[in-house]
Each structure stands twice: as structure tokens, then as C-alpha cells.
């Protein structure tokens, strides 16, 4: 085992909510079920305005192979299907449900396989029909990841419990509180892709989680690996390199080196879907940062507005200067709290004006720090300059699409250059040049 990936940085981990057990919230009076809450084509609505829906009822179907089903998180009435706030800042079509407070559920016993008597192919269909996506933030449809082509055999599944982003502790708590759910999902993933080995990967700042996982009933072939604390170790390619020494090639995927990585939350959700027939209608998220009155880890229905999460937990100590969907390194800045929790919402962070450093972007001094920390072996300062001087045609030669937008380069830059912003702009310009 290599135990190290190239580059990376050491931000203060600020895991202040790691002792906060996962708790529930009062249900919201309105749920906003966005049709775009995964990578891929938007889902297609299967209900109409005025319909009464039951908890777990499918309300939207996949809009393509890389797309997902959507289910009602509780019983209620469809009030609208209309553009609604989305964490991306855009308005995106959503199914708006007004809950009736009865939480009446659809009988899905026919979907459950508690004795695991069905085939791995049937389990994969259940994962697809249950609307499960990667819960570490990327929101990639899980059944697609578990469908590698025959010429790419998988020998290892990695259960990703690294949670390397500062402030986020949802996966940490899940490992402490639901190790058997995670290991149940890991066993199923191994069977689906035919992998004989699996690793539960955890960073060294969660020794209690590593201990709980080690003491749990580990399926045959499963080990627990504790990795040194280093950001962005939770990124798939970096995690695989740290665990196995295998390098995913430029433009390639983990399956090219025989590995499938699944977030621990995704594995627990898979386990519930297959054994109990419960589709993905909720997730654990961290409410963190210095500003919330009730920081912690919460089980939240998909579609709950972020403002409801904040209000239900005691509000904020003052006006927010920065709101972030996800972690501070790779998360998205939010314009407000109107958007809903989606399947990929790992956290909401709120900072006041006193907690932010003012960045004054200056000319690059060619110090090379960004090159030494880039985990994707890129030349961040060159990419940034190319975008600044609009030399878009050369970006591909410098492998801009390999950038995982981890922000390590910007983190160390003494000239406060926002390379991630430049690189995102460069990627968008390349897509535009390609006519996509």
C-alpha cells in the first residue's frame, strides 16, 4: 500500500461537529424536488399538479442512462411543477410537494430483498429504481458506476469514509452510528461487480470511526485503512493512488485501474434500498461554520429548503457573509438559503464577515507552490494565465480537464490568485468552442 498521493495541502480541518449525533428535523411545509440533482440528464416528471402522492412513490423517472428516478419523501399534494431555486444559483424545474403530515407510505415490500435471495443484477436494478446517487458531493448515478464494461474487471471496491473537506462530519457520524448499514452496502457492491477485495478508507482524524468499523462484522475480503490527513484525499483518483499506488490515466476513470469508489453514505443507502425497499428520500448533512446557532449533523428529507434547516436549528448568530453548499474547498457559494437539499448536499456552511479573509488577486510571481501541491500534476499558474489572456485553444494540451477543482493551488498561492475560477471559466470556454 502506497498511503500517499501526489501533492495536496493541509487546511485546518475544523471538524467541530464530529461529536454531534445525527438528529432529525421537524418536516418542512413545502418540499422542492429539483429534477436536476445528479450528474446527467434531468429526471422526467411522472405526476401532475393536484396529484396526491405517498411517501416513497416515484414522482419522476430517469431522463436517460445517466439520470435518476426521484421519489416523494413524504405523503402530500403536488402543488406545482415549475422553475425553482437550485444550489447552482439557476432556476431549475422542480416538483413542489406540500406534505399532509400523515407520512403515509407506499407499500414497497415487493422491492425488498431482506434475505438477499435475488441476483446481483436485480440489486443493481433496485439501486437504479431507488434513485441512488453518490452522496460525497458528485451525485453520479450509482448504478452506472456499478456497471463497468466487461473489458474492465473490478478487483476492489473502496468505501470512501475519508471526508477530507474541512467542517464536514456527516460521513464520520454515519460510520460511528451505522457501520453495519455501510458494510451491508459494501458487501452488495462487491457482489454486483465481482470484486473479492474492499477497503474502508478513513483519515486519521477520525480514530473513533476507524475503531467502530474495525470492530464491526467485516465481510470477507474487507479491510479498514487509516490514511494520513491530507486534502484532497477523498477525491477518487487521489484516494486510489494513496491506497493502491495505481494511477488513473489522464481522462480515465477508476474502473480503468480495476477500482470502484463509493461514498459510505451511498453504501448505507444502497443497503436500505435492497434489504428494506426504501428509495433515497433523505440524507445526512452537516450544518457548520461559525455562524449557525445549532451546528450539527442532521437527517434531512430531500427537497427541504436550506432556510428551513437553518430556522429549525436555531437560526444564525448574525448576517451571513458567505454561505457554502458542501465543504469550503470544493463546495459552491450560495446566493441565499432558498434552494433545497439535494441528493448531493453534504453540508451547509455559514460564515460571518469577520471570519473571511479578503483576497487581493495579484500577478503570479512564479513561485511554483501551486505546481507542487496540484494532485493532478497540472501547471495551475499556466492554466490560469492562459485563461486570463484568453488563449483557450491551448488549454487542452495542458490537460485542463484533469483538474478536479480541489482548490489546493489557490489555497497556497501567495498572490491570492483564484485558479479554480480561471479553470472553471477555461473548461466552459472549451465546451463552448466544441459547440456543446
If one asks whether residue 415 binds ligand SF4 (CB under 6 A), the answer comes out as: yes
Q: Smallest Cα–Cα separation from 363: which of 334, 389, 328?
A: 389
Residue 273: CB partners within 8 Å, gap ≥ 6?
111, 126, 127, 130, 132, 279, 280
In the sheet that holds 70-71, the strands lie side by side as 44-45, 58-61, 70-71
Tell me how far, at minimum, the Cβ of 124 lies from ligand SF4, in Å: 31
Task: Give kind and range of the element (H or E) at residue 164.
Answer: none
End-to-end Cα, the chain, rounded Å? 41
Residue 129: CB partners within 8 Å, gap ≥ 6?
58, 69, 111, 279
The residue length of the chain stands at 436
β-bridge partners, 95: 33, 81
If one asks whether residue 404 binds ligand SF4 (CB under 6 A), the answer comes out as: yes
β-bridge partners, 316: 292
Name which of 146 and 261 has its Cβ closer to ligand SF4: 261
Backbone angles phi, psi at 52, to 5 degrees: -90, 135
Select from 18, 62, 403, 426 the one that contacts ligand SF4 (CB under 6 A): 403
Task: Report CA-CA distances (Å) from 260 to 15, 153, 157, 254, 290.
Answer: 27, 10, 5, 6, 35
Name which of 5 and 298 has its Cβ closer to ligand SF4: 5
Name which of 267 and 329 has its Cβ closer to ligand SF4: 329
Distance between CA atoms of residues 345 and 331, nearest Å: 9
Q: Is the peptide bond before 43 cis (omega within 30 degrees of 0)?
A: no
If one asks whether residue 408 binds ligand SF4 (CB under 6 A), the answer comes out as: yes
Name which of 30 and 381 has its Cβ closer to ligand SF4: 381
Select from 409, 422, 426, 427 the one that contacts ligand SF4 (CB under 6 A): 409
Name which of 123 and 392 has its Cβ closer to ligand SF4: 392
Q: Smallest Cα–Cα separation from 205: which of 164, 148, 253, 158?
A: 164
If one asks whether residue 76 binds ligand SF4 (CB under 6 A), the answer comes out as: no
β-bridge partners, 260: 157
Residue 397: CB partners within 8 Å, gap ≥ 6?
none
Distance between CA atoms of residues 154 and 196, nearest Å: 9
Name which of 327 and 384 has its Cβ closer to ligand SF4: 384
If one asks whether residue 357 binds ligand SF4 (CB under 6 A), the answer comes out as: no
Grid cell listed for 192? 454486483
Name which of 293 and 394 has its Cβ closer to ligand SF4: 394
Distance between CA atoms of residues 35 and 232, nearest Å: 29
If one asks whether residue 62 binds ligand SF4 (CB under 6 A), the answer comes out as: no
What mask of x and - would describe binding to ligand SF4 in positions 143 to 182, judged by CB under 6 A?
Answer: ----------------------------------------
Select from 211, 247, 405, 429 the one that contacts ligand SF4 (CB under 6 A): 405
If one asks whether residue 262 binds ligand SF4 (CB under 6 A), the answer comes out as: no
Tell me how far, at minimum, the Cβ of 420 lies from ligand SF4, in Å: 5
- Do residues 297 and 290 make contact, with C-beta atoms less than 8 angstroms apart? no
Name which of 189 and 378 has its Cβ closer to ligand SF4: 378
If one asks whether residue 138 binds ligand SF4 (CB under 6 A), the answer comes out as: no
Select from 78, 175, 213, 378 the one that contacts ligand SF4 (CB under 6 A): 378
Name which of 307 and 361 has its Cβ closer to ligand SF4: 361
Q: Judging by DSSP bridges, how do beta strands 322-325 and 296-301 pair with one another? A: unpaired
If one asks whether residue 420 binds ligand SF4 (CB under 6 A), the answer comes out as: yes
Query: Under DSSP, is residue 45 helix (H, G, I), strand (E, B) or coil?
Result: strand
If one asks whether residue 413 binds ligand SF4 (CB under 6 A), the answer comes out as: yes
Name which of 54 and 371 has its Cβ closer to ligand SF4: 371
If one asks whether residue 329 binds ligand SF4 (CB under 6 A), the answer comes out as: no
Select from 62, 369, 387, 426 the one that contacts ligand SF4 (CB under 6 A): 369
If one asks whether residue 335 binds ligand SF4 (CB under 6 A), the answer comes out as: no
If one asks whether residue 407 binds ligand SF4 (CB under 6 A), the answer comes out as: yes
Interacting residues toward ligand SF4 by CB under 6 A? 364-370, 373-376, 378, 380-381, 384, 403-409, 412-415, 417, 419-420, 423
Amino acid at each position: 500500500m502506497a498511503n500517499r498521493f501526489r501533492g495536496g495541502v493541509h487546511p485546518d480541518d475544523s471538524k467541530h461537529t464530529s461529536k454531534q449525533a445525527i438528529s432529525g428535523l421537524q418536516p418542512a411545509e413545502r418540499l422542492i424536488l429539483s429534477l436536476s440533482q445528479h450528474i446527467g440528464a434531468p429526471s422526467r416528471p411522472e405526476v401532475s399538479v393536484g396529484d396526491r402522492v405517498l411517501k416513497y412513490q416515484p414522482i419522476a423517472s430517469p431522463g436517460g442512462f445517466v439520470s435518476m428516478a426521484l421519489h416523494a419523501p413524504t405523503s402530500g399534494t403536488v402543488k406545482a411543477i415549475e422553475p425553482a431555486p437550485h444550489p447552482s444559483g439557476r432556476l431549475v424545474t422542480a416538483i413542489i410537494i406540500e406534505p399532509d403530515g400523515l407520512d403515509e407510505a407506499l407499500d414497497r415490500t415487493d422491492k425488498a430483498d431482506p434475505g438477499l435471495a435475488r441476483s446481483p443484477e436485480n440489486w443493481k436494478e433496485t439501486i437504479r429504481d431507488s434513485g441512488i446517487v453518490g452522496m460525497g458531493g458528485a451525485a453520479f448515478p450509482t448504478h452506472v458506476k456499478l456497471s463497468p464494461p466487461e473489458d474492465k474487471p473490478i478487483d476492489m471496491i473502496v468505501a470512501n469514509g475519508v471526508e477530507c473537506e474541512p467542517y464536514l462530519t456527516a460521513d464520520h457520524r454515519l460510520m460511528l452510528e451505522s457501520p453495519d448499514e455501510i458494510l451491508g452496502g459494501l458487501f452488495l457492491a462487491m457482489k454486483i461487480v465481482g470484486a473479492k477485495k474492499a477497503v474502508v478508507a478513513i483519515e486519521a482524524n477520525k480514530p473513533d470511526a476507524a475503531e467502530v468499523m474495525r470492530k464491526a462484522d467485516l465481510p470477507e475480503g474487507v479491510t479498514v485503512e487509516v490514511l494520513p490527513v491530507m486534502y484532497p484525499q477523498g477525491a477518487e483518483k487521489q484516494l486510489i493512488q494513496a491506497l493502491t499506488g495505481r494511477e488513473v490515466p489522464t481522462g480515465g476513470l477508476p474502473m480503468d485501474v480495476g477500482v470502484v469508489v463509493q461514498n459510505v453514505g451511498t453504501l448505507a443507502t444502497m443497503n436500505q434500498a435492497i434489504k428494506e425497499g426504501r428509495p433515497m428520500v433523505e440524507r445526512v448533512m452537516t450544518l457548520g461554520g461559525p455562524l449557525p446557532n445549532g451546528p450539527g449533523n442532521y437527517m434531512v428529507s430531500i427537497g427541504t429548503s436550506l432556510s428551513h434547516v437553518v430556522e429549525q436549528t436555531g437560526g444564525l448568530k448574525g448576517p451571513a457573509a458567505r454561505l457554502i453548499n458542501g465543504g469550503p474547498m470544493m463546495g459552491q457559494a450560495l446566493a441565499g438559503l432558498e434552494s433545497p437539499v439535494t441528493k448531493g448536499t453534504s453540508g451547509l456552511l455559514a460564515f460571518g464577515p469577520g471570519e473571511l479573509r479578503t483576497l487581493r488577486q495579484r500577478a503570479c510571481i512564479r513561485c511554483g507552490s501551486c505546481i507542487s501541491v496540484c494532485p493532478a500534476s497540472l501547471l495551475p499558474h499556466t492554466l490560469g494565465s492562459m485563461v486570463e489572456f484568453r488563449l483557450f485553444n491551448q488549454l487542452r494540451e495542458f490537460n485542463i480537464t484533469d483538474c478536479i477543482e480541489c482548490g489546493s493551488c489557490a489555497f497556497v498561492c501567495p498572490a491570492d490568485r483564484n485558479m479554480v475560477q480561471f479553470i472553471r471559466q477555461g473548461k466552459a470556454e472549451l465546451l463552448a468552442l466544441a459547440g456543446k
